[in-house]
Amino acid sequence: MHQPELYIGLMSGTSLDGVDAVLADLSDSSPRLISKHYLPFDAELKNELLALHHPDHNELHRSQLAANRLARLYAQSVAELLAQQGIAASQIEAIGCHGQTIRHCPEHGYTLQIGNSSLLAELSGIRVVSDFRSRDIAAGGQGAPLVPAFHDKVLRAPSRHRVVVNIGGISNLTDLPPNAATSGFDCGPGGLLMDAWCMRHLGQPYDADGAWATSGKVLPALLERMLDEPFFALPPPKSSGRDLFNMAWLEQKLAGDEAAADVQATLLELTCQGIARAIREYCTGAQDIYLCGGGAHNSALRARLATLLPKCAIDITDSLGVSGDFLEAIAFAWLAQQALHGKPANLPAVTGARHPCVLGAIYPA
């Protein structure tokens, strides 16, 4: 029986909906999820984080205030997670905290995730590992996606060609061919454009099951203008985010006379085409596709992917015993463990870094 090695993972991603928190035992080769917790962002914080993606007045000061708010929210998540299990902070090895991305610019040699890790360490009484992406970028990589290294550890099959597709705000995939190296990259928008369009026109944070998209029709000319975006033609390694795919980008593609439901249908098709084209081009021979992230719940999206990829079986990672909603949070708990053990955790074949790197900065409690 292994002595438990307890870590907390915190993930707040491109979708800007809230904090996913997990408590995991990482003492064995297969992580064991002990507890999970979700804490939503309030509208004011979400709107400020959205605004910080774009240059504006006093943004340095505002970003630090937002970082402090995030740290307090992260600390609340940790406290509530530990209270669920009656576990003391002193029993936790570390918190792996992704932070909130407000700029991702590997082409300029930097990425910025805010969250004030020093304050989180102070409030929680637990050491914090964060800023996982910067070291990979310093070695010439994209700093993303980082989760494929974790997929490689827990979701690989010896005799099946699996592809894991994470559909958060941005879509990314991990290719896990048997007897060959793992690869992965960002495919394009996941739910962020659909969510923003839905909020603008329906006042709802997302289109449940793609019902609104299904009520509209795909606009071929609009879809073509979207797919003409150079990002889609770039070979891996590549990564993206709100710096490219945002409402300003969408508005540039619109003619202006489209029905709102038809735009939503076209955005769903854009997400599916981005994923399907990436799998067809770079994951030759894929047999099984496992979805995770918020988009995995969208039944219209899943049905469309099944149509576009008829030779593949499509399921969710939950069927493999790994929660699709909390997989990224578990991954950042694991990345914290790798940092504390001094082990490289990036995959240069995925990020394009020149060499493996130990990722993350450590903030003692």
The tens digit of pLDDT for each residue in 258-295 reads 999 999 999 999 999 999 999 999 999 999 999 999 99
Give the per-residue pLDDT at 123.
98
- 6-143+326-363 folds as Nucleotidyltransferase; domain 5 (3.30.420)
Residue 75 near residue 118 (C-beta atoms within 8 A): no
Local confidence band at 1 (pLDDT 50, 70, 90 cut-offs):
low
Residue 230: CB atoms within 10 A of its CB come to 7
Give per-residue burial for 213-225: e unless 16+ CB within 10 Å, then b.
bbebebbeebbee
For the chain, report the end-to-end CA distance as a whole number of angstroms: 29
Tokens standing for residue 4: 């438990």
pTM over cut 0.85: yes
β-pairing, 32-40 vs 18-25, is antiparallel
Percent share of the chain, pLDDT over 90: 96
Give the per-residue pLDDT at 2.
72
For CATH 3.30.420.40, the residue range(s) in the chain are 6-143+326-363, 156-320
What is the rounded average pLDDT for all residues in the chain? 96
Percent share of the chain, pLDDT over 70: 100
Residue 231 near residue 189 (C-beta atoms within 8 A): no
Give the per-residue pLDDT at 36.
97
At the second CATH level, the architecture of 156-320 is 2-Layer Sandwich (3.30)
